[in-house]
Amino acid sequence: FGPTAGGLLFYLQDGVPTGLVNIPPGASNIKNEDFAFFVQDKWQILPNFTFNYGLRWEAQIFPDTVVDPSKTAYGIFLSNPAFPSDGTLHNQKKEFQPRLGFAWDVRNNHKSVLRASWGIYNGRQNMLTQVGSITTNGAQQRTIFTNSGIIASGGPAPVWPNALPVTPGNSSCSGPPVNSFPCFTGVRVFSKDYANPRIYTTNVALEHEIFRDVAV
């Protein structure tokens, strides 16, 4: 690739003003709090028909940000309605999950049973994804990017083994700086409309006894 590595794609984690990692990333101590509550009951509508119903509620409380969002690399965009995030992780407190089911002894002879169930379930957001969003904010950690096209247009080029030159951040890397962060600082954020995955399930099964203690 030559001394300037013009064809090489650079991803420098934890970039700092000198271009390479020379300070330890800020430490983070984060935690999640999970709460759950459920009620359930069954109704014997007929001797051969049982109806089950219940409701489960869950909440996942996310950690607070480590750095004030206004002081991050994306802080200048927080007032822009087009920017997808407000820099925080919104707690998930509206996870109501109803469950329904029934068992029907079709011929009332304990040999053929039709079972069905329906329910709503919520997935849980993993902490590794949360950490990435909380710490990769440009101030605590960031990704610096360059490639041949940027270098050809006059952008900074790395010369091995020296550091990647880093200029103050601006909207196009060719105009006046708009903040103190390097050009093309990579960050990660959660959408302000984020919600944990919601899953709808339906199951139907017919069981029939063909021999004693053997059913299909």
Residues 89-123: tens digit of each pLDDT: 999 999 999 999 999 999 888 888 999 999 999 99
Q: Is 3 within the bounds of a domain?
A: no
Cα dihedral 149, 155, 160, 161 sign: negative
Q: Is 57 within the bounds of a domain?
A: yes
Q: Is 2 within the bounds of a domain?
A: no
Number of folded domains that form the chain: 1
Cα dihedral 73, 78, 83, 89 sign: positive
Q: Is 1 within the bounds of a domain?
A: no
* Entry pTM: 0.70
Where in the sequence is the domain holding 130, given as residue range(s)? 10-215
Q: Is 23 within the bounds of a domain?
A: yes
Average pLDDT across the chain, whole number: 78
Bridging pattern class, strands 33-46 and 10-13: unpaired
pLDDT digits (tens, 9 = 90+) for 33-68: 999 999 999 999 999 999 999 999 999 999 998 888
Consecutive H or E run containing 132 = helix 127-135
Q: Check if the beta carbon of residue 52 is closer than 8 Å to that of residue 118.
A: no
Q: Distances in Å between the alpha carbon of 133 and those of 14, 28, 128, 185? A: 14, 12, 9, 14
Q: Is 123 within the bounds of a domain?
A: yes
